[in-house]
A and B are shown apart, each in its own frame.
Chain A
């Protein structure tokens, strides 16, 4: 599978000279299989460029939403395939206890927040609530699992036909309430079943170790916590993701270098950079 990052920023789109290298668009990742299957992980502002780059021959896309916070759905209405008549768009994401996935999304994708109603879109749109066990989508086997983040939120584990595994958890605070994280075994660690022995883990790393204590409970991790989580899960490679809007490119370089030096992981750690691709 080919994994490409179209938006790596968390919370708020942050364009500007200070963020030009790692990027200012919010969460969006494309996953393309050898058979052409396309998964889009989250619909942050990065999805607009992705939509514009898709070949005219494509007839289906599956958008896997981790949750419905604004930075993960804001780009959805600007995804070009939604406006192609007959194009098949499947949206997967968590429902709430009282409202369907479609109903929750319509809160944003309807006036006055957005000019077009979901029902007015010419594409063939369908919705699927997760978690719902493992599903086959094209050549991929996809499993969603609830993870620790405010509101219904999932991570995704994606296995390609060649057996390689990508795990995507852009918003995740496995260390919540556990100052000595990771002091508990994998079975008792949020998201560890999804990330276990992944070839590539894309994971929340919004804060520096110094910043995290002031943001406990906000649903995010420090990069040091993320490296420790990845070590617990025996992943092969880690991409840090969901960068804080207040972190410049220089800040991210420094934070990555310091966190790696502090933890000395056995795997490669790469700061997620808009446009970066990974072949698995």
Chain B
């Protein structure tokens, strides 16, 4: 009767952690644009206000892997200078697991540019488990 970790039986991976489920529920009831990204960088949910900002509807696209959304968006500073992806708040929060906030211009796939304060906050669960990033966009 020895308790031991089972081998060869990984946990079900498609199911979202409860923290992300609750974050989605909260985001769906708020009026400010919120985008939730998992630990791999996949856009797993964005609420209706974020649909206006991003120019894409969650119901139409579903989740978007990082390899795709990184090519669909552009970011500039207040002087119109291009900001590299490694400086995007989301990418910093993903790679360094630290909160970041910056006021910038975001270009969506539909060609629209929005002036926003983009705040990215990592989700850290018990055991220092990194679950993803919550992004809040505040129009300037």
Contact = CB atoms under 8 A, between A and B. Distances in A.
B29 A136 contact: no
Interface in A130-189: 132-138, 141, 143, 145-148, 152, 176-178, 186-189
Interface residues of B, number: 23
A137 B12 CA distance: 20
Nearest to B28: A177
B36 to A, nearest CB: 11
Contacts of B3: 62, 90, 128, 135-137
A136 B71 CA distance: 45
Interface residues of A, number: 33
A95 B4 contact: no
B11 interface: yes
Given A60-B1, A97-B126, A134 B21 contact: no
A48 to B, nearest CB: 23
Given A133-B11, A135-B3, A148 B24 contact: no
B12 A188 contact: no
B84 interface: no
B17 A135 contact: no
A102 interface: no
Interface of B: 1-6, 9, 11-12, 14-19, 21-22, 24-26, 28-29, 126
Contacts of B4: 135-136
Contacts of A135: 3-6
Contacts of A143: 11
B125 to A, nearest CB: 8
A96 interface: yes
29 contacts: A62-B3, A95-B126, A96-B126, A97-B126, A132-B5, A133-B6, A133-B11, A134-B6, A134-B9, A134-B11, A135-B3, A135-B4, A136-B6, A137-B1, A141-B9, A146-B18, A146-B19, A147-B18, A148-B18, A148-B21, A148-B22, A176-B25, A177-B22, A186-B15, A187-B15, A188-B24, A190-B18, A193-B12, A196-B12
